[in-house]
A and B are shown apart, each in its own frame.
Chain A
Amino acid sequence: MEVTVVIVGMAIVTFLPRLIPMLKPINPNLKFMRYIPISIFSAIVFSEIVTSNLKVFAGILTFLVAWRSRSMLLTIAFGVIVFYLLTVLF
């Protein structure tokens, strides 16, 4: 029962924040909300890669590839291969 409640609860709290803005358009005065994705993703990336020097280095290289290529698949493949090579070499 506890698991069921958790599943339903997770579904509700994930679904509602996505449904509400679609039913009621966002007030133009709330323009700061466009900064939410970039803030969250930057915070996640920064706090994740600072855990090791290898990740910092791999993260910088991956960023450069993402910036230049604008291709998600290439970015992921490059990032994983570079990180693997770094862990093997160092």
Chain B
Amino acid sequence: MVWQSLCLLFCRSITVHSTSNANEQCKRIYNNSNDLFRKLEAHTYGHIPFKVLQRCCQEISFGITDETFAIAVKRFEEGKADWLYNLKLNTLCYISWVSGTVVGLIFGYLIPLNLVDVFSFCLVAPFIFIATASVEKRFDVVVAVVAGVVAILLSSLPKGWNIVLACLVGCLVGGVYEWRLR
């Protein structure tokens, strides 16, 4: 189980690196990480009681992708937490994710350049869907618009800071609303 957890953490990190680095860089990371991986396996496997691991896997999705975590948390809230389900969920998701990344890395250059810009919208579209699906009541729309406008107004800040500050302002507006309701 530990071995698998580390494998998933490793794959997650590698995926992030693979998408942003050249082939040579990726090979080097793979080699370095494989060494680390073997050492970690030798040191950790068998030292942690199985019940502790089982409990951890019941309560959390030990993989760390947003998607698997969201599914695991939902099942946890419904009282259906199941370590075996989480194990299968994470393994399948990681296999598909990592293999997709590798295929993209190898065959990505076949995509015509004019389509590369279009595919950037593949990242925006799911976010539009998730933001839309998150709206449960009318005030959520107000929070969404406020956060969005703040993010645009602060777009001159160093990369990422406008998102952080917009999130804080959105939560502040939502918090004040909740406080007034009480």
Interface residue ranges, B against A (CB under 8 Å): 9-10, 12-14, 16-17, 28-29, 32-33, 36, 59-61, 64, 69, 73, 76, 114-115, 117-119, 121-135, 140, 143-145, 147-152, 155, 162-163, 166-167, 169-175, 178
Are B118 and A43 in contact, with the CB atoms below 8 A? no
Q: Is the interface of A mostly helix, strand, loop or mixed?
A: helix
Are A32 and B150 in contact, with the CB atoms below 8 A? no
Q: Which of A57-87 contact B (CB under 8 A)?
A: 58-59, 62-63, 66-67, 70, 72, 75-76, 78-80, 83-84, 87
The residues of B that contact A89 with a CB separation of less than 8 Å are: none
Contacts known (A11-B12, A19-B60); A47 close to B152, Cβ less than 8 A: yes
Q: Is the interface of B mostly helix, strand, loop or mixed?
A: helix
The residues of B that contact A3 with a CB separation of less than 8 Å are: 17, 28-29, 32-33
Interface residue ranges, A against B (CB under 8 Å): 3-4, 6-7, 10-11, 14-15, 18-19, 22-23, 31-50, 55, 58-59, 62-63, 66-67, 70, 72, 75-76, 78-80, 83-84, 87
